[in-house]
Structure 1
Amino acid sequence: MQTASEAVTTDQRTKVAAAVSAAESKSCCEIVPVVATASGRYDRAEDIVGLWCAMLGAIAVFLAFPGDVDTGHWGGFPVWAQVLLMVTVMAVCFLVGAVLADRFHGLRLLFTARQQMKEEVNLRARELFFDRRVHHTEGASGVLIFVSLYERMAVVLGDRTVVEKLGEEFPQQLCERLTEALRKDDVGTAICDTINHAATSLATALPRGEDDVNELSDALVLLD
Structure 2
Amino acid sequence: MTLLSASEQKQVAAAIAEVEQQTDAELVTVLARSSDDYTYIPLLWAGIVALLVPGAVNFLTGWFGVNGLLMAQWSAFIGLCLLVRVSGASHCLVPRAVRFWRASNLARRQFLEQNLHHTAGGTGMLIFVSEAEHYVEILVDHGISSKIENQVWESIVSDFTAKVRQGRTLEGFVDAIEACGDQLKAQVPATREKNELPNHLVIL
TM-score, scaled relative to structure 1? 0.79
Say if 1:144 and 1:104 are closer, same or farther in 2 by CA, change over 3 A: farther
Indicate the residue corresponding to 2:6 in structure 1.
10
Unaligned 5+ residue runs, structure 2? none
What aligned pairs does 1:159-170 form with structure 2 within 5 A after superposition? 159-170=141-152
* Letter of the structure 2 residue corresponding to residue 23 of structure 1: V
- Which runs of structure 2 are paired with 1:112-123 in the superposition (5 Å)? 112-123=94-105
Task: Go from structure 1 to structure 2 and tell me whether the alpha carbon gap of 1:115 and 1:30 turns closer, same or farther (over 3 Å shift).
Answer: same
Establish whether residue 89 from structure 1 lines up as the match of residue 72 from structure 2.
Answer: yes
The whole-number CA distance in structure 1 between the counterparts of 2:47 and 2:5 is 36
Q: Is the 8 A contact 2:129 2:135 kept in 1?
A: yes
**Aligned residue number for residue 52 of structure 1:** 49
- How far has the Cα of 1:59 moved from its partner? 6.8
Aligned counterparts of 1:84 and 1:148: Cα–Cα separation in 2? 45
Aligned to 2:93: 111
Report the Cα offset of residue 30 of structure 1: 0.9
Deviation, 1:173, is 3.1
**Structure 1 residue 40 corresponds to structure 2 residue 40:** no
Give the 3 Å change call, closer, same or farther, for CA 104–135 of structure 1 in structure 2: farther
Report the alpha carbon displacement of residue 57 of structure 1 after superposing the two structures with TM: 5.4
Distance verdict in 2 for CA 1:96–1:122, change over 3 Å: same
Indicate the residue corresponding to 1:76 in structure 2.
none
Percent identity over paired residues: 22
Aligned length: 202
Kindly indicate whether the alpha-carbon contact (under 8 Å) linking 1:26 and 1:207 is maintained by their aligned counterparts in 2: yes
Q: Distance in 1 between matches of 2:5 and 2:43?
A: 31
Q: Based on CA coordinates, which of the two structures has the bigger radius of gyration?
A: 1
Deviation at 1:56, TM superposition (A): 4.8
Partner of residue 100 from structure 1, selected from 60, 78, 83:
83
1:219 aligned partner: 200
Paired with 2:177 and 2:118, the residues of 1 have a C-alpha distance of 20
Contact 2:131 2:164 in 1 (8 A): no
- Between the aligned partners of 2:93 and 2:167, the Cα distance in structure 1 is 27
Moved over 3 A (4+): 53-60, 102-105
- What amino acid is the match of 2:123? S
Structure 1 vs Structure 2 CA RMSD: 2.4
Please tell me whether residue 135 in structure 1 is matched to residue 117 in structure 2.
yes
